[in-house]
Chains A and B, each alone.
Chain A
């Protein structure tokens, strides 16, 4: 069969909503795009533990501490589901981690912003996880089977992340003036970076068209961003807080909120590695990996030793 015919069969399957499974034939570009996207997604979950890990020892109560630990543990789990999904495409775990550490692979830029106050934990849950969920709900229907299955599992768990964030801000919003100010300040700082999470505008996004044709993505960056703005603009009212955008306004004819222009210079700057915490985040990951080397080696040596003892007994 020619490659052209194979591609036709492949696209036909996609059009008929038949999932692609690891052993099925697929175009190399489909494989590469999925490896890139899934591993980036996995890296984001793993790096995403860092800004929150910062507050585990500083949480204001035992309850909040337990919640935060559970959330961070979930994120480790989500990273692992996703790494496994990417491995089914032929990329090794070591390679992916090397690519993250060398800076070749990207992760979500949002995690390059610092978490300065306790209210940031609430804002991250509500806004950052809220933005991530919209993307992830869409990905539950992505065309690559293992990725879609990982996303279903992640979405089930992610809802707790957003709800605990909103609830934590709700408590602050009913607190003292200082607490309310802290809440508003966190929203002010996280709002625009959250909008940037959806990526460049459709008119400037390079991967979008093909990804939609292959049903890796089913909505464009701008569609998802609008959905997010509409959702948050309503929810913020319940907190009695505001979003830091003077242009945010309900548009009756569009039935959507209009909003101001994102600072794209900042976006590209952070993507290119010049955000407030890029260096720190990567260093923390590399350090953790290097300091864990002896543990990985020891566990393997122990397994080999145990196996050879079992063999000796049998013999």
Chain B
């Protein structure tokens, strides 16, 4: 039986297609690299991942992001980063990776029983 399990470690996009370097890539002569887009919807809020797009360079990525992701004033600020620069955790190791936080209930305020008389706490 031929079992093929593919794992992608860096970002949401598989490495082999996750943007090529700007020097030429033989099989992909006209392919623009892939960029991840982050948008701040209004002042005071964090930038949030909105999606991805292809563009030749950062300036084009920002302009395309405006046209693709903010046609209805969804943003006041845009970040773009080439997808190949995103590093991510591996879901197969998630259990081990996040496990240390799971038995530390004392990190939450609800762990502490206080008398009802205590106000403003």
Question: Which residues of A line the B interface, CB within 8 A?
Answer: 3, 6, 21-25, 28, 70, 73-74, 77, 80-81, 84, 87-88, 90-94, 146, 149-150, 153, 157, 293, 296-297, 299-300, 302-304, 306-307
- Decide if B119 is an interface residue (CB 8 Å cutoff): no
- B34, B67, B68 interface centre (most CB from chain A within 10 Å): B68
With a CB–CB cut-off of 8 A, which chain A residues contact B28? 92, 94
**Cβ-defined partner of A157 (8 Å) among B32, B56, B72:** B72
With a CB–CB cut-off of 8 A, which chain B residues contact A306? 57
Cβ-defined contact, B91 with A21, below 8 A: yes
Cβ-defined contact, A22 with B56, below 8 A: no
Chain A, Cβ-Cβ closest to B89:
A23
- Decide if B9 is an interface residue (CB 8 Å cutoff): yes
**Cβ-defined partner of A23 (8 Å) among B4, B22, B34, B88:** B88
Cβ-defined contact, B91 with A23, below 8 A: yes
Q: Which residues 28-65 of B sit at the A interface, judged by CB distance below 8 A? A: 28-32, 34, 51-54, 56-57, 60
- B28, B51, B56 interface centre (most CB from chain A within 10 Å): B56
**Cβ-defined partner of B57 (8 Å) among A23, A80, A157, A303:** A303
Tell me, in angstroms, the Cα distance from A77 to B65 when the chains sit together: 10
Tell me, in angstroms, the Cα distance from A91 to B34 when the chains sit together: 13
With a CB–CB cut-off of 8 A, which chain A residues contact B88? 23
Give the Cβ gap from B64 to chain A, nearest Cβ, in Å: 8
Give the Cβ gap from B109 to chain A, nearest Cβ, in Å: 28
Given A23-B88, A93-B54, verify A299-B60 contact (CB < 8 Å). yes
Tell me, in angstroms, the Cα distance from A146 to B36 when the chains sit together: 13
With a CB–CB cut-off of 8 A, which chain B residues contact A25? 5, 7, 91-92
Size category of the binding interface on chain B: 35 or more
**Cβ-defined partner of A77 (8 Å) among B5, B9, B54, B71:** B71
Chain B, Cβ-Cβ closest to A81:
B51
Give the Cβ gap from A25 to chain B, nearest Cβ, in Å: 6
Tell me, in angstroms, the Cα distance from A77 to B71 when the chains sit together: 9
Cβ-defined contact, B30 with A80, below 8 A: no
Tell me, in angstroms, the Cα distance from A84 to B32 when the chains sit together: 13
With a CB–CB cut-off of 8 A, which chain B residues contact A307? 22, 57
Tell me, in angstroms, the Cα distance from A21 to B8 when the chains sit together: 11
With a CB–CB cut-off of 8 A, which chain A residues contact B81? none
Given A23-B91, A87-B13, verify A304-B22 contact (CB < 8 Å). yes
With a CB–CB cut-off of 8 A, which chain A residues contact B54? 93
Given A93-B54, A94-B28, A299-B60, verify A73-B4 contact (CB < 8 Å). no
Give the Cβ gap from B29 to chain A, nearest Cβ, in Å: 8
- B5, B7, B28 interface centre (most CB from chain A within 10 Å): B5
**Cβ-defined partner of B56 (8 Å) among A21, A80, A84, A299:** A299
With a CB–CB cut-off of 8 A, which chain B residues contact A90? 6, 8, 14, 16-17
With a CB–CB cut-off of 8 A, which chain B residues contact A149? 51
Chain A, Cβ-Cβ closest to B49:
A149
